[in-house]
Chain A
Amino acid sequence: MAAFVWLTVITALRILGRNRLRAGLTMLGIVIGVAAVIAMVSIGEGAKRAVQKQIATMGTNVIIIWPGATTVSGVRGSQGGAVTLTVSDALDLKKKIPLLSDTGWAKRDVMQIVNGNRNWNGTINGVSPSYLTIRDWSFSSGGPFTQADLDSAARVALIGQTVAENLFEPGEEPVGAIIRIKNVPFRVIGVLSPKGQSAQGSDQDDVIFIPFTTAERKVFGTPFLGSVGAVFASTDRTDDLPEAVEQIREVIRARHRLQGEQADDFTIRTQVDIGKVQEGTSQTLTMMLFAIASVSLLVGGIGIMNILLVSVTERTREIGVRMAVGAKRRHIVMQFLIEAVTLSVFGGALGIILGVMGAKLTTVIAGWPTIISSNVIIIAFFFSLVVGLFFGLYPANKAARLNPIDALRYE
């Protein structure tokens, strides 16, 4: 049997080799289908991985609470417009919810920063020291400010990579330098390690951190002391996030004296929620591309079936001779199935090569990250094999059901 299969493969290859153009055109559908699947999935995976990386830059197991929209006489303001969320909310959350490993808070504004004759418009963040640990900020030089700096409203600043590049000469050491924010002098005590783009596409390194107290008393001029732009919290385990969110909601509702039916005056999001939205987008994209590629594979399969039907008709006499000299039905079925599978697997292999090249080219030309997983290659190969088997079955059976006498007499 093994000898039979092997010889049939050789025969199939020779028959296909005879009609190279025809075989090539027949395979084209499979080639394009498989190449499309590989390239698309690689691009989709690359995009997904990039998003995951960006999400990870937020910190680990982060929960963000924003003040909700204000409603004044039925007119709703923008989200975050209210001043309802406060430092004491953040402190109380930490005290009342043991699940939370830490809470921090922040308030931001865009302002001009000056160093000597250079200036830059950057986002000034007044934050608690805990914020820096929750968001996983690390330092390329210098270090963070402390609780003491917060308590004394010290004029110290941490600057992001983008800000450092714009305010200082290359090679100039920012740590120790004095910069001015709204004419208030600050000593730079740390430069942050770069984080790159956020999941939303903004530059996360275009930031300056100063102690929250300093910001509200000396820079922003806040009318309501203690009101924050956002409260940040984190848990030790990702699985605790949903439970922590529920508890935070209860605590804040109680603190804000919200009754039964009243809507929350704040919004809670976790890192997982944000990740899901992003991943959902790339997932949809991948699925769509996959659907298109599948249609292409289907068309390729029909092409193979079509050519095999032609081949069965052309080779009716040959089939008759084979039957006369003792080929059983299964031999004939096998022969045409092997021809179909040879076509589709050959096409699949070509498609894999083209798809991988396409994905690499996309990275080189468009700069999109691509990830070629061995899984998708194996699946694509398997799929092309199945396409060959499936679409070869009908022509093969048609050939095997020929009556040897009629087949021998066929002109």
Chain B
Amino acid sequence: MTSLIECQDIWKIYRVGDVEVQALRGLSLTIEQGEFVAIMGSSGSGKSTLMNILGCLDQPTKGRYQLNGIEVGQLRPDQLAEIRNQRIGFVFQSFNLIPRTSALENAQLPLFYRGLSLKEQRAQAAEAIRRVGLTGWEHHFPTQLSGGQQQRVAIARALVTSPSLLLADEPTGNLDTQSSQEIMAILEGLNREGITVILVTHEVDVAAYASREIIIKDGQVLSDRATEPRPQSVGV
């Protein structure tokens, strides 16, 4: 069986005016199905660029990236969109819910682009909302929800397509300690159910939930080690 994620010698080079920025410099990485990985690094280390590439929002300048055995580097934008829709769920720091749209409809959004019937969409979205523990809040707008609740809706949106990969970019960055713990508990639970979770964070406590910690520096992997999960120490 192939690995879920296989990156080989990935380069990402931007041109900003006349200046060439090498965000990733020959990074290689393999992540197996079912892992809970924390990617850490200071700002400018290239971890955001790596997240974008892993999430199929961006493509590497050089190198190979295979997701589930599919070579992503050669795909057209619409094919990338399809992969994101089928295999990847995103959770963002700033939630990125669609304003003035109910929790249920936000969770429904990815199914919207799958051509399912409205009934099926509703049913699946309601199930995702239940899994994040927001039953009863389906018809509330984002502004009527707390930060933690909003992030749970975002997780429901990421879950609704039953993705093989969940990418969380600083998911607790805008949350208080209590909410952070709740969110991390949900992610941990999902990982236990078999979903691969990749977490980008600079908080050590949050990273501690993961079973593997990868530190990025200057566009390369600085360290990559397995860690003992110790969820109880979060939020001191």
Out of B58, B86, B161, name the residue touching A405 (CB < 8 Å). B58
**CB proximity of A9 to chain B, nearest CB, Å:** 12
Chain A residues, Cβ within 8 Å of B98: 318, 321-322
* Cα of A404 to Cα of B96 in the assembled complex, Å: 13
Chain A residues, Cβ within 8 Å of B157: 325
Q: Determine if B112 and A7 form an interchain contact, defined as CB atoms under 8 angstroms apart.
A: yes
Chain A residues, Cβ within 8 Å of B115: 1, 3-4
Chain A residues, Cβ within 8 Å of B58: 405
With known contacts A7-B118, A326-B84, A404-B57, A320–B113 Cβ distance under 8 A: no
Confirm or deny: A208 has a beta carbon within 8 angstroms of a beta carbon on chain B. no
Q: Determine if A325 and B113 form an interchain contact, defined as CB atoms under 8 angstroms apart.
A: yes
Q: Determine if B52 and A321 form an interchain contact, defined as CB atoms under 8 angstroms apart.
A: no
* Cα of A103 to Cα of B118 in the assembled complex, Å: 78
Chain A residues, Cβ within 8 Å of B117: 3
Q: Determine if B113 and A317 form an interchain contact, defined as CB atoms under 8 angstroms apart.
A: no
Confirm or deny: B100 has a beta carbon within 8 angstroms of a beta carbon on chain A. yes
Q: Determine if B96 and A326 form an interchain contact, defined as CB atoms under 8 angstroms apart.
A: no
Confirm or deny: B109 has a beta carbon within 8 angstroms of a beta carbon on chain A. yes
Q: Determine if A320 and B116 form an interchain contact, defined as CB atoms under 8 angstroms apart.
A: no
Give the contacts of B174-196 with A (CB-CB under 8 A). Answer: none
Out of B86, B109, B121, name the residue touching A321 (CB < 8 Å). B109
Confirm or deny: B68 has a beta carbon within 8 angstroms of a beta carbon on chain A. no
With known contacts A405-B52, A405-B57, A323–B81 Cβ distance under 8 A: yes
Confirm or deny: A379 has a beta carbon within 8 angstroms of a beta carbon on chain B. no
Q: Which size bracket describes the interface of A in this complex?
A: 20 to 34
**CB proximity of A165 to chain B, nearest CB, Å:** 71
Q: Which size bracket describes the interface of B in this complex?
A: 20 to 34
* Cα of A1 to Cα of B117 in the assembled complex, Å: 9
* Cα of A317 to Cα of B142 in the assembled complex, Å: 15
Chain B residues, Cβ within 8 Å of A327: 81, 112-113
Chain B residues, Cβ within 8 Å of A408: 57, 92, 96
Q: Determine if B118 and A324 form an interchain contact, defined as CB atoms under 8 angstroms apart.
A: no
* Cα of A320 to Cα of B58 in the assembled complex, Å: 13
Q: Determine if A326 and B92 form an interchain contact, defined as CB atoms under 8 angstroms apart.
A: no
Chain B residues, Cβ within 8 Å of A325: 84-85, 90, 109-110, 113, 157
Chain A residues, Cβ within 8 Å of B161: 326
Confirm or deny: B171 has a beta carbon within 8 angstroms of a beta carbon on chain A. no
**Chain B minimum-CB-distance residue to A331:** B113
A-B contact count (CB 8 A): 67
Chain A residues, Cβ within 8 Å of B86: 326
**CB proximity of A22 to chain B, nearest CB, Å:** 14
Chain B residues, Cβ within 8 Å of A320: 96
Give the contacts of B90-124 with A (CB-CB under 8 A). Answer: 90, 92, 96-100, 109-110, 112-118, 121
Out of A6, A322, A329, name the residue touching B77 (CB < 8 Å). A329
* Cα of A322 to Cα of B108 in the assembled complex, Å: 11
Chain B residues, Cβ within 8 Å of A324: 55, 57, 84, 90, 96
Chain A residues, Cβ within 8 Å of B97: 321
* Cα of A35 to Cα of B186 in the assembled complex, Å: 57
Q: Determine if B100 and A328 form an interchain contact, defined as CB atoms under 8 angstroms apart.
A: no
Chain A residues, Cβ within 8 Å of B78: 328-330
**Chain A minimum-CB-distance residue to B118:** A3
Chain A residues, Cβ within 8 Å of B85: 325-326
Confirm or deny: B82 has a beta carbon within 8 angstroms of a beta carbon on chain A. yes
* Cα of A132 to Cα of B135 in the assembled complex, Å: 90
**Chain A minimum-CB-distance residue to B84:** A326
Q: Determine if A326 and B100 form an interchain contact, defined as CB atoms under 8 angstroms apart.
A: no
Q: Determine if A18 and B100 form an interchain contact, defined as CB atoms under 8 angstroms apart.
A: yes
**CB proximity of A407 to chain B, nearest CB, Å:** 10
Given contacts A325-B90, A326-B84, 7 further A-B contacts (CB under 8 A): A3-B121, A323-B57, A324-B90, A326-B86, A329-B78, A408-B57, A408-B96
Binding site for A on B (CB under 8 A): 52, 55, 57-58, 77-78, 81-82, 84-86, 90, 92, 96-100, 109-110, 112-118, 121, 157, 161
- Could you show 27 A-B contacts with beta carbons less than 8 Å apart? A3-B115, A3-B116, A3-B118, A6-B118, A7-B112, A318-B99, A321-B96, A321-B97, A321-B109, A322-B98, A324-B55, A324-B90, A324-B96, A325-B90, A325-B109, A325-B110, A325-B113, A326-B81, A326-B82, A326-B84, A326-B113, A327-B113, A328-B78, A329-B78, A405-B52, A405-B57, A405-B58
